[in-house]
Structure 1
Amino acid sequence: MNKNIPPLRTVDGAALMSQPLRPPNFVVDTLIAQGLHLLAGSPKVGKSWLALWLSVMVAKGEPVWKMPTKQGTTLYLCLEDSVLRIQNRLFEITEDAPSSVHFCTECALIGQGLEEQVETFLATHPDTVLVIIDTLQMVRPARDATYANDYRDLSALKRIADAHGIAILLIHHLRKETADDVFNRISGTTAISGAVDSSFTLVEERRGSGRAKLSCVGRDIEYRELTLERNGENVWELVSDS
């Protein structure tokens, strides 16, 4: 028997039930709580436009589709874009981007420095509430797509979100093939859906229509489907919420 291994730290049922309930801390009320989240969609569907808009709206403390936001610093790792492209997109979606939204086009990989880079940013900006990584694939080391590897990579990011009480949103891809359950189209093994606290899929009614369904499922939110429409400024506006 190894005496250096600490014993299990348990809590009994009576003690657990006597503790006051702590509701989840939402960054976007009823939609995005603290924790790790995934937004998946087909290529060129408008995921990055949505991510950029979210980062700005939360930084400004403005509602997202009529849902209140928790204002704070946001970090958008836009790893498939240039600074010029982000600047051009900002001019389209807003007239005044606040200094509390930060952009970065390069970073390290998971397990090779990314965690330390995010931790350093959080230490410098302790009021951070949202980090967006666009895309997940850009921060993953090159290795076999196995359940264990998928779970290991996402767990590293979830630990940061949980430790700091922030939301981390990963932008990801959907497979081309159809499925009865749209969440089964999320690229990678089932570990990706299992490791996150909520998953969102953005699927156009038809390619180029500018109208899409955002399906939402998670541990701290109720299942819902938002119908969105992309306006002339490339902002996804809410059409209906069911």
Structure 2
Amino acid sequence: MTEKKKSTAPVSSVGADGEQPKTKNHTEIIANEIAQINLQATNCPEKSGQGGGLQTVSMTELYDTVYPPRTPVVDGFLYGGTYLFVGAPKVGKSFFMGQLAYHVAMGLPLWNYPVRKGTVLYLALEDDYARLQRRLSVMFGVECADNLFFATQAKTLNEGLDGELEGFIKEHKDARLIIIDTLQKVREVGGDRYSYSSDYEIVTKLKSFSDKYGVCLLVVHHTRKLESEDSFDMISGTNGLLGAADGAFIMHKKKRTDNTAVMDIVGRDQPDQELTIEFDREQCIWKFQKAETELWKQPPNPLLEAINEFLTEEMQEWEGTATELLKQLPDMQLSANVLSRKLNVVNSQLLNEYGIFYDNKRGHERKIILKRLEQKS
């Protein structure tokens, strides 16, 4: 390991001229048992009321609990959870799905967004393998990603899709992204399939799966024919789809024959964005043109900076009490209790930006664990 350096969020205003930015040293995916993103405490026993009442947690318990960190798939762009990717038929969604899948599998930056490498499963349910072969060879030549897998057939959710996906994840512990192209191919057919409750239920099922296993499910869907001032109102179906999802991407063009498209992004874990992208018809990939606004950069956190400096090349792991850690951080004017709570809150930031895993073990006395997982360059 060489010099430690904090990674920063990508600045969306930097355009692409057809060449990808040079690849940094990125860390492989962290084991899913660490990366799980459901909201169950790792250290907190379940609380339940008398007679089958509500399970509750107090604000004190909330702050004293270490929750599994959320790690992005593409920094500032795509995170763990269930997302919709919506566009009109033949607008170029499948080309972008192939592009995204390849970049995540290879660990290559997507435009100017850093990518966290991991295994990818692409359910191309409206394609066949011959078409996939031709499309990908035009896009990327014949350089293969051994951790990018395809399937052109899958069960519906009612028939056992979750079991198929679970089997794949058990075989590929570093699975990070699963693309379902399209939603209609895996949803059950029923008389009320376009009701709010049905739409909400199907995305909720998918979200439960993605939260359980700490992966990203990106679900391709179509827009409705009617235009709307709010692009997210163009999602085919009811508001139940977007209401249950962690976020959505809407790709749309002013005219179908345009090479340029706008991608609107909204989500719980990433900033709202509006990107302008251009389709390269020769290579069949989408290139970045501009962003409506720059990504907001969070100012440096003095506590995280201090911990980053504390873990040296010679000492990449440390374990001790909060009081003992404060002695190693003399500039931090905090009580031991406040130090622990602050670290509990920012453990995702500590992992994603500095490559440092944090835990706070219960026992005879609480022990803080710090471990550098990334090699910095």
TM-score, normalisation: structure 1? 0.95
Q: Distance in 1 between matches of 2:62 and 2:187?
A: 38
1:214 is the counterpart of 2:260: no
1:101 is the counterpart of 2:148: yes
1:59-98 superposed matches below 5 A: 59-95=105-141, 96-98=143-145
Question: Where do 5+ consecutive residues of structure 1 fail to align?
Answer: none
Q: Is the 8 A contact 1:214 1:227 kept in 2?
A: yes
**Alignment counterpart, residue 169 of structure 2, candidates 122, 129, 132:** 122
Q: Distance in 1 between matches of 2:197 and 2:209?
A: 19
Q: Distance in 2 between matches of 1:124 and 1:5?
A: 41
Output the amino acid matched with 1:107.
Answer: A
1:237 is the counterpart of 2:284: no
Q: Is the 8 A contact 1:202 1:214 kept in 2?
A: yes
Q: Distance in 1 between matches of 2:217 and 2:67?
A: 23
Q: Which residue of 2 aligns with 1:137?
A: 184
Moved over 6 A (4+): none
Q: Which residue of 1 aligns with 2:304?
A: none
CA-to-partner distance for each residue in 1:39-82, whole Å, 9 max, x for gaps?
A: 10011000011001111110000011211111010000000001
Q: Distance in 1 between matches of 2:145 and 2:207?
A: 27
1:203 is the counterpart of 2:252: yes
Deviation of 1:23 after TM superposition, in Å, equals: 5.4
Question: Partner of 1:122: helix, strand, or coil?
Answer: helix
Q: Which residue of 2 aligns with 1:10?
A: 56
1:42 is the counterpart of 2:92: no
Q: Distance in 2 between matches of 1:21 and 1:47?
A: 34
Q: Which residue of 2 aligns with 1:171?
A: 220
Q: Distance in 1 between matches of 2:51 and 2:278?
A: 55
Q: Is the 8 A contact 1:73 1:127 kept in 2?
A: yes
Q: Is the 8 A contact 1:198 1:216 kept in 2?
A: yes
Q: Distance in 2 between matches of 1:5 and 1:127?
A: 41
- Higher-Rg structure is 2
Q: RMSD value over aligned CA atoms?
A: 1.7
Q: Distance in 1 between matches of 2:239 and 2:51?
A: 32
Q: Which residue of 2 aligns with 1:32?
A: 78
Q: Which residue of 2 aligns with 1:159?
A: 208
Output the amino acid matched with 2:289.
Answer: V
Question: Partner of 1:40: helix, strand, or coil?
Answer: strand
Q: Distance in 2 between matches of 1:91 and 1:33?
A: 28
1:173-192 superposed matches below 5 A: 173-192=222-241
Deviation of 1:18 after TM superposition, in Å, equals: 4.1
Q: Which residue of 1 aligns with 2:159?
A: 112
Output the amino acid matched with 1:241.
Answer: A
Q: Which residue of 1 aligns with 2:100?
A: 54
Output the amino acid matched with 1:26.
Answer: P
More displaced 10-residue stretch of structure 1: 82-91 or 135-144: 135-144
TM-score, normalisation: structure 2? 0.62
Q: Is the 8 A contact 1:216 1:225 kept in 2?
A: yes
Percent identity of the aligned residues? 36
Q: Is the 8 A contact 1:136 1:170 kept in 2?
A: yes
Q: Distance in 1 between matches of 2:217 and 2:174?
A: 14
Q: Distance in 1 between matches of 2:69 and 2:279?
A: 33
Q: Is the 8 A contact 1:90 1:97 kept in 2?
A: no
Output the amino acid matched with 1:111.
Answer: N
Q: Distance in 1 between matches of 2:261 and 2:277?
A: 5
Question: Partner of 2:255: helix, strand, or coil?
Answer: coil
Q: Distance in 1 between matches of 2:82 and 2:169?
A: 16
Q: Distance in 1 between matches of 2:160 and 2:170?
A: 15
